[in-house]
Amino acid sequence: MMGKEKLKAYTVCDKWNDAGSIIVWAESSGKAKSQSLYNDIFDGYEFTDLRVCREPDFDKYAESKKVPIQELLDRCWWFCCCECLKDHLGQDSIDNGDAFIIERDERDDFVLGTIICADCKKKEDNK
């Protein structure tokens, strides 16, 4: 633990928006970037390839470093199915019954909860 240093939330993405976005908590945007280079999704990227955006709404999650998935969906984020990795599952997919939020929290990342597609959920339910 780093004592009482106040961490701020940032969204970090690459400038081409290829790899996706992550949320990190750090003291400054520079630290947010350098911290993100350790994340697998930015493997091979340079410091100058990354873009940072302040996310004051997520400061309150600095302790757990996890944002409830619904809050990200509300901001038009999309996710991959946690089983088959089918992508672009967002709020629309949930509204249409093509995807579901589940409480699973096995991923070591910044999201609390995960998304499963309808096909995989059916398989899970039949187990």
Contact residues for Zn ion, defined by CB under 5 A = 81, 83-84, 86, 117, 120
Residue 100, token pair as written in the block: 């579901």
Between 24 and 81, CB nearer to Zn ion: 81
For the chain, the 3-state helix, strand and coil shares in percent, each to the nearest 5, are 30, 25, 45
Between 77 and 100, CB nearer to Zn ion: 100
CB of 102 to Zn ion, least distance (A): 11
Phi, psi values for residue 23, rounded to 5°: -115, 135
CB of 54 to Zn ion, least distance (A): 33
Between 7 and 115, CB nearer to Zn ion: 115
* CB-CB contact of 79 with 44 (8 Å): no
